[in-house]
Structure 1
Amino acid sequence: MTVTIKDIAKIAGVSHATVSRSLNDSPLVAEKTKKRIKELADNLGFEFNANARSLSTNKTGTVCAIFPQKFGEFGASLYYISLLNQLRTSLEEEGIDLIVSFPKSSKTGESNIKRLIISKKVDGIIIIHPRLEKIDGQIINFMELSKIPYIFLHHYSSFYEENLADSIYTDHFYGGYNATDYLIKLGHKKIMCITSVGNSYEFEQRLNGYKAALNQNNIPVDENLILFGYRDIASGYNLVRDNIKSITDKGVTAIFAHTDLMAIGAMEALKEFNIKVPDDVSIVGYDDIELAEDFKPALTTIHQPREEIALLGCKRIVEMINGKKIKNKINIVLQTRLVVRESTKQIK
């Protein structure tokens, strides 16, 4: 038998309105009464209708995270999944559900963001996409006109330069610099860099950081030691295997891989040529995914501040959803940190 608000009101000895207000957490009802009615509803197995709540509060209790279309691919998804889990945990503490979508429908090509806003399915939007402005240059104007709370996380966007959007992202230049400088301090001078193809800002910045560290330490940048591939294990493996002669002939003693998966692939390739990590070649990765610590040897890597990104991003979106008056857009740059494990070694 389905339990209704009328049933709860009769048992509690209060009006229907009081039950409804209590379940909607209205300030018009005393906390003691709200607590008693909520406990009674739980004990009776009452399921509050989300549509009914949305009619009375104009809120759905749901936020959408917009990810790149390649989110589901193994090579691209491990860091995103870690970030997604952090976001989900933070929002659940606020009683908010998280759903995942992409900028455009794979079937119709229409904007998923516009559809979600027009259909009033979400209270806010978290955008974790590196090139949203190239996919839909008018989406910021649409979100602004709709008054829906939104924030950009993790990826740098040109929207930030114009102060059009709230943003929290990572300083990838420092991450690239820190990884390379650490290897230099261990005595390495011939440092190969394996990075990603394409025009991704974050990978450009990691590469710029690599070059800056070399220049700062008066080590010439050898463009032949900068290899471009994809972000997965297979690419790291193939890049090192296909360039093993360059590694041995040029006396490469360290590799900086711009993802942990590329670093793991590189280590597997080196093993096939009996090149030991870290005795012969040290390796530093980037991201600090869970697999980095479990792999043998455990991977020295650059940790991306996904916990801080999630906490600060969720705090901001919840404030906006709850109607807090916010005067200025925020632009927060978070720093990476080096995590030293077993894949690097001092050389004499």
Structure 2
Amino acid sequence: MKISPLIKEKIKEELLKIIEKNRKEDYVKLSSERELAQTFNVSRTTIRSVMKELIEEGIIVQFQGKGTYIVPKKEKHVYVLNSPDLKTEDPFYSKFFVALTNRLTERGFSLNFISMDKVIKNRNRDIPLLLVGLINDESIEKLKEKFQYLISIEQYFNHDKIIQISVDDYKIGWSAAEAFIKRKHNYIIHLCGPERYTAARLRKLGFLDRVKIEEGIKYEIIEGKMNYKSGYELGEKILDIFNNERKSKIGIFAANDWMAIGLIQRLKESGILVGKELSIIGCDDIPLAKEVVPNLTTFKWDVEKIISEIIELLDDIINKKKIISNKRVLVSAKLIIRETLMN
């Protein structure tokens, strides 16, 4: 007998409500297949199919000769450690952090914010630690001694035993160069961040790998700090290039939106029509990106995808599933085309 997917999902949704309403600290017996089939007015085959999925997900369990039981509530704790370099006013991390904490709270996780001082006293290695922002090498080594599960949204190439769920920064750099090349830009510049930041290093590497294989392209790398002031000050170099390369179609990829917005401001002050006389692409899609004039073309992180991957991983840890300690998940970013990119 074929079961309608829509009916099955509806039954599963309703059954989950019953389960959550009756979940206790100990096992609670669930109604029989026959009783549930009568309650939902469906066949026992449908109920059996739904219950099979719930068993596989660890929500209910069957004991031979005794029936089906709701799995007891589990304490779901997660530690959170923010990088000391993380600025509270950073719009991207603020948005990401609010979304993450809301989703974790909805899923019943208890968040415990800790500092490196508290890490030294940690006695529960099984509670996962979520790292937000870049942590230095010395601290990472201490954390690996104290926690079985480290989860980061930054990439660490020189450390094992860290589960990394992050945006694909290499692909961002490659795609930025590709966007310019497709639009016939022949002088492409990357305003990169400091080498110590993995994201900046990977974006630069992806950018270079793409431009180097394209014939007839002039390119340049200019390093600066990843902030508004640096972008504004680097505008002087960009102005020199612009004035010396009047016949070139110039595209500039900034390591983040703050650099790009600072650059836009400096160029506007000199009368340059950004988006008409040259192109600029940023990265991170901060709220200001769509408010600055002209609106900034930029890469947007798939925050929901990253958060979903984190939650799925935390659930696996709580349910004691086998976890790969050096798991890597790369999530693509989307190019949001606005006014600063010429056709």
TM-score normalised over the length of structure 2: 0.72
Partners of 1:218 and 1:306 in 2: CA distance: 35
Q: Which residue of 1 aligns with 2:339?
A: 342
For 1:1-348, what aligned pairs fall within 5 Å after superposition?
25-29=24-28, 59=75, 61-72=76-87, 74=89, 77-102=90-115, 104=116, 110=117, 112-115=118-121, 117-118=122-123, 123-144=127-148, 149-159=149-159, 162=160, 164-219=161-216, 222=219, 225-241=220-236, 243-251=238-246, 253-320=250-317, 322-329=318-325, 330-346=327-343
Partners of 2:338 and 2:80 in 1: CA distance: 32
1:205 CA drift (Å): 0.9
Task: Indicate if the aligned counterparts of 1:232 and 1:261 stay in contact, CA closer than 8 A.
Answer: yes
Partners of 2:316 and 2:144 in 1: CA distance: 19
1:219 CA drift (Å): 4.2
Q: Which residue of 2 aligns with 1:41?
A: none
1:327 CA drift (Å): 4.8
Higher relative contact order (CA 8 A, sep 6+): 1
Task: Indicate if the aligned counterparts of 2:188 and 2:217 stay in contact, CA closer than 8 A.
Answer: no
1:188 CA drift (Å): 0.8
Q: Which moved more, 1:326-335 or 1:309-318?
A: 326-335
Q: Which moved more, 1:273-282 or 1:123-132?
A: 123-132
Q: Give per-residue Cα distances to partners, 1:297-316, cap 9 Å, x unaligned.
A: 22111122222111111221
Q: Give per-residue Cα distances to partners, 1:77-135, cap 9 Å, x unaligned.
A: 22211221221122022122435445x3xxxxx4x4334x33x6994311134344343
Over the residues paired in the alignment, what is the CA RMSD in angstroms? 2.9
1:29 CA drift (Å): 4.4
Partners of 1:300 and 1:290 in 2: CA distance: 12
- Runs of 5+ unmatched residues, structure 1: 1-21, 33-55, 105-109
Partners of 1:169 and 1:70 in 2: CA distance: 18
Identity of aligned residues (%): 21
CA separation of 1:230/1:142 partners in 2, compared to 1, >3 Å: closer, same or farther? same
Letter in 2 for 1:237: Y
Task: Indicate if the aligned counterparts of 2:275 and 2:340 stay in contact, CA closer than 8 A.
Answer: yes
CA separation of 1:233/1:73 partners in 2, compared to 1, >3 Å: closer, same or farther? farther
Partners of 2:255 and 2:245 in 1: CA distance: 21
1:189 CA drift (Å): 1.2
Partners of 2:255 and 2:324 in 1: CA distance: 34
Helix, strand or coil: the match of 1:138? helix
Partners of 2:186 and 2:239 in 1: CA distance: 17
- Number of matched residues? 280
Task: Indicate if the aligned counterparts of 1:129 and 1:155 stay in contact, CA closer than 8 A.
Answer: no
Q: Give per-residue Cα distances to partners, 1:280-311, cap 9 Å, x unaligned.
A: 11110011222212222221111222221111
1:154 CA drift (Å): 3.5
Partners of 2:29 and 2:109 in 1: CA distance: 23
1:240 CA drift (Å): 0.8
Letter in 1 for 2:142: Q
Letter in 1 for 2:226: R
Partners of 2:272 and 2:81 in 1: CA distance: 42
Partners of 1:215 and 1:131 in 2: CA distance: 32
Q: Give per-residue Cα distances to partners, 1:140-193, cap 9 Å, x unaligned.
A: 13213xxxx43222434433xx4x232212221110010111011111111221
1:23 CA drift (Å): 9.8
1:73 CA drift (Å): 5.3
Q: Which residue of 1 aligns with 2:13?
A: none
Partners of 2:210 and 2:163 in 1: CA distance: 30
CA separation of 1:237/1:258 partners in 2, compared to 1, >3 Å: closer, same or farther? same
More helix by share: 1
